[in-house]
Amino acid sequence: MKSRKASATARSGKKTGNSASKDGLLVMEKRDQPRFTVGLPFDYSRVDSEEAWGIAADASEGGLLVYLHEVVEKGTLLNIEILFGKGSGLITIKAVTKVIWCDLAAKEAWGEYRYGVEFQSFSKGSLDQLKLLLKEVGQAQKASD
């Protein structure tokens, strides 16, 4: 995949808790891993399309919440490449993801569509890089609390 020249930095966010109450309703968290708010651009491609780019809004070891500029069907496999800055270097996370849910109406007016993607496999060393990124985001979140 072609490298993005934009530098990416993670911004801290609140982890989702195990449950939350809103207007008297109990909402149970179904995720296995904590999810962190990030703002990371990434490149992606499908087997049948050219390379495109999107934004990862949040991340966990299990998957990402992403915004794309095109409609993608549930079940579609996406090859992704996330770049983020660490010190004076650039770290790359390469993985295959699967679209597990979509919200086409979320930002349709702006030409953005929201998707939940689940990691299927990682290139060598990429899972370790993802864990490092999430650890740093988690530490930044704790420091800002």
In a domain, 2, yes or no: no
In a domain, 50, yes or no: yes
The tally of domains found in the chain comes to 1
pLDDT tens for 74-133 read 999 999 999 888 888 888 999 999 999 998 765 655 668 999 999 999 999 999 999 999
Question: How does DSSP assign 93-129, residue by residue?
Answer: EEEEEEEEEEEEEEEGGGTEEEEEEEEEEE-TTHHHH
- Amino acid at site 19: S
pLDDT of 9: 39
Placement of tokens 């992606």 in the chain: 44
Residue 99 CB neighbour total at 10 angstroms: 20
Q: Which residues are CB-contacts of 139 (< 8 A; sequence separation ≥ 6)?
A: none
Helix (H, G, I), strand (E, B) or coil at 130: helix
Domain housing 67? 34-144
Q: What is the mean pLDDT of the chain?
A: 80
In a domain, 75, yes or no: yes
pLDDT of 104: 75
Q: What sections of the chain are H helices per DSSP?
A: 126-144
Chain-centre distance for alpha carbon 35: 9
Question: In percent, how much of the chain has pLDDT > 70?
Answer: 73
In a domain, 26, yes or no: no
| Rounded (5°) CA angle 117-91-110 | 45
Helix (H, G, I), strand (E, B) or coil at 52: strand
d(CA 86, CA 23): 41
pLDDT of 143: 83
Q: What is the CATH number of the domain that holds 54?
A: 2.40.10.220
pLDDT of 14: 42
DSSP symbol at 75? T
